Chain A
Amino acid sequence: MSKINVTLQLNGKSVSAEVEPRTLLIHYLRENLNVTGPHIGCDTSHCGACTVDIDGKSVKSCTIFAVQAAGAEVLTIEGMAGADGKLHALQEGFREMHGLQCGYCTPGMIIRAYRLLKENPTPSDAEIRMGISGNLCRCTGYQNIVKAIQYAAAKINGAEYKEAAE
């Protein structure tokens, strides 16, 4: 099976690898580029653990071939912190609010939350739940994930986070 070159922008840097057309983007990232933040949790595109951000869209990287993403700008969890190592408000919020336990859904969840807050900078709790409905978690029951995202939203908006009773 002949391979093709797929080049794209990953977390602000140009990356390149020779892959088959059938190579899924998640495998291109994890196997070819050793970017192991995004994870695989299912076979049927339901769990969202593989979520990345492609040209401003939240996309399940297990349901797209690497070749389809050629030339795109891709953001993964590895690109969330600043160049100086300063954590993104979401990374801080997930720790402050105990929005993770085993950590396996976390990269996909944070990347999705990142785009969600761009779509809607001041979401209600219900809007957050709808907004992350493509990301499954088995550990947290989502309640503290919602708080983590509210924490980040407040911080990004320069407001003070108030832990409201749900």
Chain B
Amino acid sequence: MIPGSFDYHRPTSLSEAVALLSSFDADARVIAGGHSLIPMMKLRLATPSHLIDLAAVGELRGVSAEGGEIVIGAMTTQHELIASETLAARLPILREAALLIADPQVRYVGTLGGNVANGDPGNDMPALMMCLGAVYVLRGKAGERKVAARDYYQGAYATAANPDEILTAIRIAPPPAGHGYAYEKLKRKVGDYATAAAGVILTLANGTVATCAIGLTNVAETALFADAAAGAVVGSKMDKAALARASAAAEAIASPAADGRGSAEYRRKMAGVMTARALSRAFARANG
């Protein structure tokens, strides 16, 4: 219940934050909303000696459209994602998923950056970032670089980010207007991580699936980009057989842990069921 001791820093600019992070050894952590990190610190599963609070770094906030892309500052809270008119219009799947994350209090404080940056396999947004082909902007002592979400996750809590890098923004080229989308999350109760969840983005051409992207949450060490499952429905009218092929393909790549949510076998099967339900809903939406 009581965290260990640390020194606290509150930089007011991104360059100051980066400088602080790289000046300490690996025992420093940035803190965004803190609702993943602080619970871990209270259980003493995380014991950083330095915390670098990003709350005062204004460059990390805001949702804007830049060219053909939507740019979301890493410190944008789930509450702000839900309230954003821009996102509701261009990336409605984010709102749908954000409403399924945690509870109202956590959503006021928890950030998109915090949800995607640290490689927690239970978080919901990484699978959606993969679906949307999002790109993460990282800033470290060597400067700025971009990593595609689909290339970012390496294992549980293991990512392509270096210890000195801060995720500053997420860039997404939004799918065309009228696209189909759905995030289907099976959980034990409000606030729980997914027993299994699937996010779908698709487009139709003449009533047939033209493009499809599927992301799976919490059924492996990382979020999964289920391209075989997505491929199984391309060219179809989302008939029963196509759905069955997609479910099977999703199950085939899932390797969930057994835990309080159920056996590994159950969770694997649920990855398939959530995939089918998300595909059906996304298809219905795209059909208007």
Tell me the B1-57 residues at the A interface (CB within 8 Å): 1-8, 10, 31, 34-35, 38-39, 41-43, 51, 53, 55
Is B109 in contact with chain A by the CB < 8 A criterion?
yes
A21-B79 contact given A48-B105, A63-B39, CB 8 Å threshold: no
User: Which residue in chain A gives the minimum CB-CB distance to B83?
Assistant: A119
Complex CA distance for A65 and B37, rounded to whole angstroms: 12
By the criterion CB–CB under 8 Å, are B51 and A21 in contact? yes
- For residue B17, give the distance in angstroms from its CB to the closest CB of chain A: 15
- For residue A111, give the distance in angstroms from its CB to the closest CB of chain B: 10
By the criterion CB–CB under 8 Å, are B53 and A68 in contact? yes
User: Which residue in chain A gives the minimum CB-CB distance to B39?
Assistant: A45
Contact with B along A100-117 (1 / 0, CB 8 A): 000000000000100010
By the criterion CB–CB under 8 Å, are A134 and B105 in contact? yes
Is B155 in contact with chain A by the CB < 8 A criterion?
no
Is A4 in contact with chain B by the CB < 8 A criterion?
yes
Is A58 in contact with chain B by the CB < 8 A criterion?
yes
By the criterion CB–CB under 8 Å, are A59 and B108 in contact? yes
By the criterion CB–CB under 8 Å, are A134 and B191 in contact? yes
Count chain A residues whose beta carbon lies closer than 8 angstroms to a beta carbon of B.
30
By the criterion CB–CB under 8 Å, are B5 and A134 in contact? no
- For residue A57, give the distance in angstroms from its CB to the closest CB of chain B: 4
Complex CA distance for A131 and B3, rounded to whole angstroms: 29
Is B106 in contact with chain A by the CB < 8 A criterion?
yes
Complex CA distance for A86 and B202, rounded to whole angstroms: 55
Is B69 in contact with chain A by the CB < 8 A criterion?
no
By the criterion CB–CB under 8 Å, are A134 and B103 in contact? yes
Complex CA distance for A41 and B83, rounded to whole angstroms: 30
Note all chain A residues with C-beta closer than 8 A to B39.
44-45, 63
User: Which residue in chain B gives the minimum CB-CB distance to A69?
Assistant: B55
Complex CA distance for A130 and B100, rounded to whole angstroms: 11
- For residue A119, give the distance in angstroms from its CB to the closest CB of chain B: 8
By the criterion CB–CB under 8 Å, are A68 and B55 in contact? yes
- For residue A150, give the distance in angstroms from its CB to the closest CB of chain B: 18
By the criterion CB–CB under 8 Å, are A4 and B38 in contact? no
By the criterion CB–CB under 8 Å, are A112 and B34 in contact? no
Note all chain B residues with C-beta closer than 8 A to A65.
8, 34, 38, 51
User: Which residue in chain B gives the minimum CB-CB distance to A27?
Assistant: B2
Is A133 in contact with chain B by the CB < 8 A criterion?
yes
Is A64 in contact with chain B by the CB < 8 A criterion?
yes
By the criterion CB–CB under 8 Å, are A57 and B108 in contact? yes
Complex CA distance for A20 and B4, rounded to whole angstroms: 10
- Can you name 24 A-B pairs with beta carbons within 8 Å? A4-B8, A21-B6, A21-B7, A22-B2, A22-B5, A43-B43, A45-B106, A58-B108, A60-B105, A63-B34, A63-B35, A63-B39, A63-B106, A65-B34, A67-B8, A68-B31, A68-B34, A112-B104, A116-B104, A130-B190, A131-B104, A134-B104, A134-B106, A134-B191
Q: Given A20-B5, A45-B38, list of 15 further CB < 8 A pairs?
A: A22-B2, A22-B4, A22-B6, A22-B41, A43-B1, A59-B105, A63-B34, A65-B8, A65-B38, A67-B8, A68-B31, A112-B104, A130-B104, A133-B104, A134-B191
Residues on B facing A (Cβ under 8 Å) = 1-8, 10, 31, 34-35, 38-39, 41-43, 51, 53, 55, 79, 102-106, 108-109, 190-191
Residues on A facing B (Cβ under 8 Å) = 1, 4, 20-22, 24, 40, 43-46, 48, 51, 57-60, 62-65, 67-68, 112, 116, 130-134
